[in-house]
A and B are shown apart, each in its own frame.
Chain A
Amino acid sequence: MTLTDQMTMAKPNPELQKKIFSRLVNIHPDECFQCMRCTSGCTSLKLLELKPHEITLLVTTGFIDELLSSDIIWTCAACLKCRERCPQKASPYNTIMILRNLAVEKESKVPEAYMKAMSQILETGLMQQETPVLSREAKPFNRQTLGLPKLHYPKPKLQEILMKILGG
């Protein structure tokens, strides 16, 4: 017998579910008993309507496809309250991170800033370019004028390795 979501006619996706469970070492969404402790303290509940207990439930029931294309997995502020407070070691935070990874693998819509940071890291090893800062009086300063040592960037080998990892 398989479940069907009567609102959307969506079906569970057991393969994806298996993939998620296998990547969550020592994190146990399947132990969640829906106490909602995670949601009651979630940083993104009020502003963005993130309900981590629902994310956990959707994963444990297998309704994952829609989650991957939904913006909701990109609303987590990574405050780690749910990771700390969950009495069942289900840590919705870690589940959400894996869901994001899968959304990227599936080439779902991923917030642009993440992809930008990633390509910057591939290019230089750092997520941002060195930019001058402005003082309160709008005077520009850089590392040199602030007396800070020069940055020494990683060698190109790092890029090669990261590409290998990202390529699977």
Chain B
Amino acid sequence: MSLREVTPHFNIELIDLHETSCCGGPVRSINTKAATYLSIRNLALAEKSGLKNLLVPCNECHFMLCEVSHRIQLNQQLHNEVETLLREENLQYPTTVKIWHTIDLFHDLITPEKIRLRVKRPLKGLTFAAHPGCQIIRPSEIGRVDHPEKPRKLETLIKALGAEAKDYPEKLDCCGAALLYSHKEAALSLAGSKLKSLQEQGFQALVDTCPYCHIMYDAKQKEAVSTVGGKSMIPVVYYTQILGRALDIPSEKLGLHLNQTFTTEDVEF
């Protein structure tokens, strides 16, 4: 929701692709070839639309599309098989679509300077922790949006809103979402220990961009924090939500009423 609201402010038009499917993330554990097909098929749909850029806000989807495009080039036989199957759906093997993520869209294309110029309500006095996530920064060999060990772009984007973004020891810790399928307790405790520590360090909120991380940190926060013996909550928001507030877009339009951990009493956005 917030992504749809903020992009027009930077002259970016989002057009929904129809008939897209799951990226193949969970399918990879079951059948790599099926996962490969799902990923490439989504890219083929983008190519067919005639649009040159595909925005993929989820870290796992973004990873799958990039990883599969990378690996299929090493495997001519698989490439041919996928190409034949695509034809059954009247699709062509995609070659031109550029894959974007929220972080590089705002950092590399729109740029922090331009964001700073558009800010109407600087978020002064707030200190955020940035959570870039795992699959969007690794593995660097397939091209990721930030440094694999020292990601800084999300912080730079937060600072462009007039807020503070401080480093913290758990920054590279995984949200655990991929473990929900098989080891729910462990998944929750991964998320919980990071949230607990962030709270102890006095951050006003955790800022993420990936919907999967967001589920772990926001929707499942109560459960997550209780698995590690924590009690209180820390607000978790999407970058595009705080950006939207800095642009003076009303909270409801940004979906802030859907965040389970955020209350205006906690943080004055």
Contact = CB atoms under 8 A, between A and B. Distances in A.
Contact of B20 (A101, A121, A154): A154
Contacts of A149: 16
B21 A136 contact: no
A97 interface: yes
B48 interface: no
Interface string A126-161: 110000011111000100001011001111011011
B29 A80 contact: no
B174 A101 contact: no
A9 interface: no
Given A118-B26, A126-B21, A80 B181 contact: no
B1 interface: yes
Contact of A148 (B1, B63, B88, B139): B1
A48 interface: yes
A166 B31 contact: yes
A7 interface: no
A60 to B, nearest CB: 20
A141 B259 CA distance: 13
Interface stretch (A28-36, A61-69, A107-115): A107-115
Given A44-B186, A75-B183, A161-B37, A136 B260 contact: yes
Contacts of A97: 28-29, 32
A1 interface: no
Nearest to B173: A43
B258 A165 contact: no
Nearest to A155: B19
A101 B74 contact: no
B179 A75 contact: yes
A20 to B, nearest CB: 12
A36 to B, nearest CB: 18
B12 interface: no
A47 B41 contact: no
Interface in A89-106: 91, 97-98, 100-101, 104
A3 interface: no
A98 B21 CA distance: 23
A84 B258 contact: no
Contacts of B85: 161, 164-165
B266 to A, nearest CB: 11
B134 A78 contact: yes
A48 B187 CA distance: 10
Given A80-B138, A141-B258, A165 B33 contact: yes
Contact of A110 (B30, B32, B262): B30
B22 A136 contact: no
Interface string B1-39: 100100000000000101111100011111111100110
Nearest to A71: B182
B41 A117 contact: no
Given A78-B60, A141-B258, A157-B88, 7 more contacts: A75-B186, A79-B178, A83-B139, A121-B27, A137-B257, A162-B37, A165-B31
12 contacts: A74-B29, A75-B183, A79-B138, A113-B181, A118-B27, A121-B21, A126-B21, A127-B26, A146-B255, A149-B16, A153-B19, A160-B88
